[in-house]
Amino acid sequence: MSFEAMLRLSEVLLALVVLQTALEHFWQGRDRALYAARIALCLWVLGGWHAGIAIGGLWISSLILLHRFGGPYNGGADKMTILITTCLSAAHLFPDWAELAMAYLAVQLVLSYFVSGYVKIKNPDWRSGQALIDVFRFSAYPVSERLRGWAGQPRVLWLMSWSVIGFEVIFPLTLLHPLALWIGMAVAATFHFANACLFGLNRFFWIWICAYPSLIWFQERVLG
């Protein structure tokens, strides 16, 4: 994938994801002026005319939203949105450093999996499956009361725990071969999809996929 194609694909995916979240907020009737501006900026990016300016506008409005909500509205999904917006803004603002900005995004994406897996593997509750049992048993995260029944399936949750840990710590190795990377991204997307279905974290699924083009380009550029 060429750098230009990766940059444009990342912009379009980001605009579609931010548009979806902005429409949700606008529909709920909260902070409508700000979200109307974000909707307009997303349409501007999709139109493709000097998209860098609109990306910069999205970056500024993201900072305003951070202040408005006293932090991220949607945790890690918002942080990843800001990271992608920052890297794309930097790529437009400093063309000589554009590759470095997008490589930074790719490395952060790999670290998002590896560090998460490393933290889990160090935690005895994750190694025994107890952490996931607790998540289903009494945390605020399952999307329905019926899903709490999964807490009574310790063997299934132990297997799920180690599947997640294994994929996360191994993920950096997928950079060694293009096919391995595609398989790794498919597994990662499946993981995010499961989180979206079980815990309602739909924004994580879409925004993490936004960063995948940078990873495909990075693998080709550095190791291809």
Partner 1 sequence: MLRDDQKTDWAESHPIPDHVGPLQMLRRMFWNPERNTQLYMVALAERLVSGLVDHSKAELNRLIAERLDEHDGQLQFRLVFMTSEAAGITGTVVYESELQDLAELRA
Considering only residues 104, 136, 150, 205, which one is a binding residue for partner 1 as defined by CB under 8 A? 205
Cα–Cα distance between 8 and 16 in angstroms, integer? 12
Cα–Cα distance between 216 and 139 in angstroms, integer? 36
Region of 17-25, 95-103, 108-116, 175-183 interacting with partner 1 (CB under 8 A): 17-25
Query: What does the per-residue mask of binding to partner 1 show for 68-107, with x meaning CB under 8 A?
Result: -xxxxxxx--------------------------------
Cα–Cα distance between 37 and 145 in angstroms, integer? 37
What DSSP assignment string belongs to 142-160? -SSGGGGGGGG-HHHHHHH
For partner 1, the closer CB: 5 or 143 = 143
Q: Angle at Cα 7 formed by Cα 194 and Cα 193, nearest 5°? A: 5
Cα–Cα distance between 87 and 75 in angstroms, integer? 19
Considering only residues 49, 96, 122, 145, which one is a binding residue for partner 1 as defined by CB under 8 A? 145
- How big is the chain, counted in residues? 224
Q: What secondary structure letter does DSSP report for 224?
A: -
Considering only residues 3, 196, 209, 220, which one is a binding residue for partner 1 as defined by CB under 8 A? 196
For partner 1, the closer CB: 51 or 135 = 135
Q: Is 80 helix (H, G, I), strand (E, B) or coil?
A: helix
For residue 49 the two structure tokens come to 């005319």
For partner 1, the closer CB: 30 or 50 = 30
Cα–Cα distance between 162 and 120 in angstroms, integer? 9
- Min separation Cβ 151 and partner 1, Å: 10
Query: What does the per-residue mask of binding to partner 1 show for 25-44, with x meaning CB under 8 A?
Result: x-xx----------------
- Min separation Cβ 211 and partner 1, Å: 18
Instruction: Catalog residues that contact partner 1 under the rule CB under 8 A.
Output: 20-21, 24-25, 27-28, 69-75, 134, 137-140, 142-147, 193, 196-197, 200-203, 205
